[in-house]
Structure 1
Amino acid sequence: MLVDFEFDQDVCILKMSGRFATGRDAEYLRRRTEELKDRGCKKIVADLNGVPYIDSTGIGFLIGIYTTVRRDSGQFVLAGPNDKVREVLSLTKLMTILPTYDNLSKAIAALK
Structure 2
Amino acid sequence: MNITIDVKENEKLVEVKVSGEIDAYTAPKLRENLFPLAEKEGVQMVVNLSDVSYMDSTGLGVFVGVFKNVRANNGEFKIIGLSDRLKRLFEITGLADIIDINTQIEGGVQ
**Taking structure 1 as the reference length, what is the TM-score of the superposition?**
0.81
Are the equivalent residues in 1 in contact too, given 2:15–2:47 (CA < 8 A)? yes
**Residue equivalent to 2:21:** 19
Deviations 1:5-29 (CA, angstroms, capped at 9, x unpaired): 02456421110111112x2223312
Specify which structure has the higher proportion of strand.
2
Residue type matched to 1:13 in 2?
Answer: E
**Residue equivalent to 2:104:** 103
Residue type matched to 2:91 in 1?
Answer: S
**Residue equivalent to 1:82:** 83
**Residue equivalent to 1:55:** 56
Are the equivalent residues in 2 in contact too, given 1:47–1:78 (CA < 8 A)? yes
User: In structure 2, the residue corresponding to 1:57 is in which secondary structure?
Assistant: helix
Alignment match of 1:5 (pick from 4, 7, 15): 7
* Identity in percent: 25
1:53–1:41 CA distance, 2 compared to 1 (3 A) = farther
Segments of 5+ residues of structure 2 without an aligned counterpart are none
Are the equivalent residues in 1 in contact too, given 2:87–2:103 (CA < 8 A)? no
**Residue equivalent to 1:43:** 44
Are the equivalent residues in 1 in contact too, given 2:40–2:73 (CA < 8 A)? no
Pairs aligned (count): 106
Segments of 5+ residues of structure 1 without an aligned counterpart are none
Residue type matched to 1:90 in 2?
Answer: E
CA distance in 1, matches of 2:82, 2:27: 20
Residue type matched to 2:22 in 1?
Answer: F
